[in-house]
Chains A and B, each alone.
Chain A
Amino acid sequence: MHSYLHIDNAKMVFDTKKGKFTALTDINLDVKQGEFIALIGHSGCGKSTLLNLVAGLTEPTQGVLLLSDKEIKGPGPERGVVFQNHSLLPWLTCFGNVYLAVERVFGAKEPKSKLKERTQAALELVGLSHAIHKHPNEISGGMKQRVGIARALAMEPKVLLLDEPFGALDALTRAGLQDELMRIVKETQATTLMVTHDVDEAVLLSDRIVMMTNGPSATIGEILEVDLPRPRDRLKLAENPAYHHLRGQVLEFLYQKHLKKAA
């Protein structure tokens, strides 16, 4: 099997005031092109740390990360990141926020009119054509998160990295955005890594679920294949025994094998 994203023996040690803190160790993972991977685990297990390594925001203390056979050294436009708290710039409109990314990636080789088209198309893709000239403080949390997704998608990334993108949203908004994400990923064929702590979200969206043990020195505990046929429909899945079986397996991992002791 030829892997697109290859993580080899990655280890991450942070220097803290209390000394060295080993967040991740012995991380080995191969991701195929176009695959949707969910990273799940209890909070503090280093899911986001692993995502930041792939994003290039931090460098591993040990080990190598390869993306299509090239080492990841710092962030790059081929990896779009959607942050947990949307991280939109409040002084720019939705359009301005997305345009900033488009301009950076395509500004050198395309005329302004084309850049504007791209920005508009990205906002349309997430269903925000009507709020294009609003500032982030004028729109809801779900809409902000959509702008964040549009900003990442507008760069036409080969890899989409999502850090608990729907964590702060209410259940209804979350479900809507999950459906939209499934559609977008199908359209763009992007390889996707998504950090989540929501078992249903992981089973619904991903091809494989990477379950992580508790930190410190967290590592990959088990990897679960989700062989449910696509397109997936959340209502039909609710009656699908295979879905419940998969869900049960994830829950078992999280709450029996690696129950986090209450602090």
Chain B
Amino acid sequence: MSAVTINENSLKDIMNSPDTTPLPAAVSVAEARPTPFLQTERGLAFAEAIGKFFRAVLPPILGIALFILLWQMVSVSGGESGLPGPAKTWESAKLLFADPFYDNGPNDKGIGWNILHSLYRVGAGFGLAALVGIPLGFMIGRFQFLSGMASPIISLLRPVSPLAWLPIGLYVFKETEPASLWVIFISSIWPIILNTAAGVSRVPQDYLNVARVLNLSEWKIFTRILFPSVLPHLMTGIRLSIGVAWLVIVAAEMLTGGTGLGFWVWDEWNNLNVEHILIAIFIVGIVGLLLEQVLVMIANRFNYE
């Protein structure tokens, strides 16, 4: 405790003491105004709304501005061979997005096509993972024995870097397209299995007691109690899965080539078009963010608490 403590009461004492005089400036400004709008009820509400808006919007805007400034500084300090600056990248992006869906043969497609291809692969790989992972998660969560069987395998395979699976996929499927789907599949299946299983084993005993007292059939227990109760966990699993899949797809496409954002990054690297690589990084970030937001919105829909 410090020797001098100012709490609410002592502050009041200070304000009320004759030695303390209010700031004269504040008084004169208020008197000078003919209609003190900000002192009326509507005015206060207006001021508060403005204040709220700025408190919410100002920090991100400042952050972004600072980021762009740093970027500019880095690019200037590099001289001629430095990174392209924000303005140059912006000009390049405008050109790029002017015609996103052109198609000049297999290795030269618009940015829109590349994004869609990457999204398609994530969707397909994740879809397969969900198809296998959700039922597996339910079974592992419901039956202790299966859980015991699966847990050493999952523990062993889960930490493996997704790209380590690519050669296996290429060897088995002999083609790049199924191989990249395979990589997405194998890297996004673990969060689905684990979260579903955790959800099933955490169904509150109260709900299961209700099921027993009502003597519900296995099917009703699944549709009315297990599934709705697991859904929030399942949604978390799906969100993590898609996040991982989106991380992995860029790397996988760099190696497999053909189409997609990852391929495009690598292609532009070969062309030494650094602005496009920077643009690609922003696209990957923005698409990832949008995917996450959509999934959070869906998850909130299923939150009953």
Contact = CB atoms under 8 A, between A and B. Distances in A.
Contact of B207 (A77, A87, A104, A135): A87
Interface stretch (B5-13, B211-219, B278-286): B211-219
Contact of A57 (B213, B225, B228): B213
A104 B304 contact: no
Nearest to B225: A89
A89 B215 contact: no
Contacts of A80: 213
Nearest to A96: B224
A28 interface: no
B213 A81 contact: yes
Nearest to B204: A87
A63 interface: no
Among B206, B207, B229, B305, max chain A CB count under 10 A is at B206
B207 A75 contact: no
A92 B304 CA distance: 10
Nearest to A148: B210
Nearest to B209: A57
Give the interface SS of chain B, mostly helix, strand, loop or mixed: helix
B36 to A, nearest CB: 43
B228 A77 contact: no
Interface string A71-101: 0001111011101010101111000000011
A137 interface: yes
Given A90-B304, A135-B304, A137-B304, A57 B214 contact: no
Interface residues of A, number: 22
B158 interface: no
A55 interface: yes
Nearest to B216: A104
A89 B220 contact: no
Interface string A98-119: 0011001000000000000000
Given A75-B213, A89-B224, A91-B228, A83 B304 contact: no
Give the interface SS of chain A, mostly helix, strand, loop or mixed: loop
A100 B206 contact: no
Interface string A142-166: 0000000000000100000000000
A104 B305 contact: no
Contact of B210 (A77, A89, A137): A89
Contacts of A91: 228-229, 304
A100 B224 contact: yes
A83 B206 contact: yes
Contacts of B305: 90, 137
Interface in B252-305: 304-305
Contact of A104 (B209, B214, B229): B214
B168 to A, nearest CB: 41
Contacts of A137: 304-305
A81 B212 CA distance: 11
A74 B211 CA distance: 12
A135 B216 CA distance: 21
B95 to A, nearest CB: 50
17 contacts: A75-B214, A76-B215, A77-B214, A79-B213, A81-B213, A83-B206, A87-B210, A89-B207, A89-B210, A89-B225, A91-B228, A100-B220, A100-B224, A104-B220, A135-B304, A137-B304, A137-B305
Interface of A: 55, 57, 74-77, 79-81, 83, 85, 87, 89-92, 100-101, 104, 135, 137, 155
Interface of B: 206-207, 209-210, 212-216, 220, 224-225, 228-229, 304-305
Given A89-B207, A89-B210, 16 more contacts: A57-B209, A74-B212, A75-B212, A75-B213, A75-B215, A80-B213, A83-B209, A83-B210, A85-B206, A89-B224, A90-B305, A91-B229, A100-B216, A100-B220, A104-B216, A137-B304
